[in-house]
Structure 1
Amino acid sequence: MGPLEALAILLAAVGAGTINAVVGSGTLLTFPTLLAFGFSPVTANVSNTIGLVPGTIAGAWGYRRELAGQRGRVVRLGVGSLIGGATGAVLLLVLPSGAFEAIVPALIALGVLLVIFGPRISRWVGAHREGGRGEHWWVWPTVALTGVYGGYFGAAQGVLLMAILGIGVAETLQRLNGAKNVLAALVNGVAGVIFTFVADVDWGVVGLIAVGSVIGGLLGASLGRRLPPPVLRGVIVVVGVVALVAMLAT
């Protein structure tokens, strides 16, 4: 890996960290960059997942004010993310590489539609919500399933999480974005731990992505916290559509 390739990977990681903190889908910057420089898909995927962990943690730290008072929710949903992320990582290692290719675009499209119609759906859900925790019963299992997807590949994981949380949890969009960053960090973290021990990892790439994603995560958190809810929702939709088009084009 030459200096120009290293610089390109670093810059892609800064962009990925920024996008992940605001919405998600940063993998769509770093993963294709690694493929373009000749890394195998599995090595690129696992190295990218490990490298993005510090960036997702940085993004969560940038949203620490919005996370205040959400410890119980984050712990509860975080258990689902950990279970799902570990499951997805194992599936990546044992299933054929094309196993999820058909369903991933459909999941992203569904996430975009849910974000668009989220306010209307969430009002309906609010009228039928059970219990006093401010979240519907199906949020935990769907967060866990999103963790499976995130541990397997992860592009647009944030779009799916924001769709689920925005509809099923009675909370502001910015506070939910903070929770999303923690959940994504847990998914990437547990998958990264598994990959470290059993997969082919390029640690030079991991280091570059880690440094770039931390810078981007802090920048993205600073930017994202200033966006009004309608603008944030629009950004989520745009990123989701771009992710869908990119995946269908490959």
Structure 2
Amino acid sequence: MAAGTINTLVGSGTLITFPTLLAFGVPPVTANVSNTIGLVPGSISGAIGYRRELRGQRSRVLRLLSASLLGGLAGAALLLVLPAEVFATVVPVLILLGVALVVAGPRISRWVAVRHDATGGLPHHGAWWVWPSILLAGVYGGYFGAAQGVLLMAIMGIGIQENLQSLNGVKNVLGAAVNGVSGLVFAFVAQVDWQVVLLVAAGSVLGGQIGAGVGRRLSDAWLRGFIVVVGLAALVAFVLG
């Protein structure tokens, strides 16, 4: 439930569920894939909770959704073929980068907006680099996913001229897509503990609704601050772990 709440607000719920599953003796790969599948209903629940903020963003969501789906497939494939040490080395760097981008987001967004004034501002779907960046975030999310939401919010917060509450709704849809497509792959080719899946799913669905209720009450400044705190906590957890 806590993971579903945090995933809806920011997107680092895996940092709660994954270590917990390991503590109960679930093998690492099985814990990772089972957790990914189990969090899908929670992500969908969070997206439904933010449906009001998603109004008017249909074309943007569909465009970015294609990047997330492709990235999620690639990330799932990497988990199955590469040793864990390869990507685990990059994870802290990605989290730190995401936090730094969230902090610098407003200033960078103003700079980007000025640069695009001559063309009438940024397109509705964002700067040109948003789509490939969402693709890379999807690869990361398909592989492991902790703090994926921090990266997504950093990318969209800088490259798309929109308030953070609306972008948080988009983030929940993209996160659900990444977990869903990678989870589908894992369900067929990886060792899944379906009891774990059901337990995580039940809690995350409830947490998704709690997160949506709490999240939309936060101002952009508070939401940005919360993203930074969770991102730094994720970084510390990886470094100390």
* TM-score, structure 2 as length reference: 0.97
Match of 1:225 in 2: 216
Q: In the alignment, is residue 15 of structure 1 matched against residue 2 of structure 2?
A: yes
Q: In the alignment, is residue 117 of structure 1 matched against residue 104 of structure 2?
A: yes
Match of 2:235 in 1: 244
Residue 95 of structure 1 is aligned with which of 72, 79, 82?
Answer: 82
Match of 1:149 in 2: 140
> What is the CA-CA distance between 1:90 and the residue it aligns to?
0.6
Aligned residue runs from structure 1 range 186-201, under 5 A: 186-201=177-192
> What is the CA-CA distance between 1:134 and the residue it aligns to?
5.2
Match of 2:34 in 1: 47
> What is the CA-CA distance between 1:89 and the residue it aligns to?
0.3
- Determine helix, strand or coil for the equivalent of 1:207: helix
CA displacement 1:206-229 (0-9 Å, x = unmatched): 000000000000000010011011
- Determine helix, strand or coil for the equivalent of 2:87: coil
CA–CA distance in structure 1, aligned partners of residues 112 and 125 of structure 2: 11
Match of 2:153 in 1: 162
AA matched with 1:78: L
Match of 2:202 in 1: 211
> What is the CA-CA distance between 1:98 and the residue it aligns to?
1.2
Match of 1:8 in 2: none
The answer to whether the Cα contact below 8 Å between 2:11 and 2:146 also exists between their aligned partners in 1 is yes
> What is the CA-CA distance between 1:157 and the residue it aligns to?
0.1
Q: What CA RMSD, in Å, does the superposition of the two structures yield over aligned residues? A: 0.8
CA–CA distance in structure 2, aligned partners of residues 132 and 216 of structure 1: 34
AA matched with 1:27: T
After TM superposition, the structure 1 stretch with the greater mean CA deviation from structure 2, 98-107 or 26-35, is: 98-107
Q: In the alignment, is residue 34 of structure 1 matched against residue 21 of structure 2?
A: yes
Runs of 4+ in 1 over 6 A off after TM superposition: none
CA–CA distance in structure 2, aligned partners of residues 249 and 160 of structure 1: 21
Match of 2:62 in 1: 75
- Determine helix, strand or coil for the equivalent of 1:117: helix
CA–CA distance in structure 2, aligned partners of residues 38 and 72 of structure 1: 44
In structure 1, the gaps of 5 or more residues are 1-13
> What is the CA-CA distance between 1:127 and the residue it aligns to?
1.5
CA–CA distance in structure 2, aligned partners of residues 222 and 205 of structure 1: 26
After TM superposition, the structure 1 stretch with the greater mean CA deviation from structure 2, 123-132 or 77-86, is: 123-132
In structure 2, the gaps of 5 or more residues are none
CA–CA distance in structure 2, aligned partners of residues 134 and 198 of structure 1: 34
> What is the CA-CA distance between 1:133 and the residue it aligns to?
2.6
AA matched with 1:77: L
Match of 1:108 in 2: 95
CA displacement 1:67-101 (0-9 Å, x = unmatched): 00001000000000000000000100010121111
* Residues 1:134 and 1:146: Cα distance change in structure 2 (over 3 Å): closer
The answer to whether the Cα contact below 8 Å between 2:4 and 2:211 also exists between their aligned partners in 1 is yes
Residue 139 of structure 1 is aligned with which of 83, 105, 130?
Answer: 130
CA–CA distance in structure 2, aligned partners of residues 78 and 65 of structure 1: 18
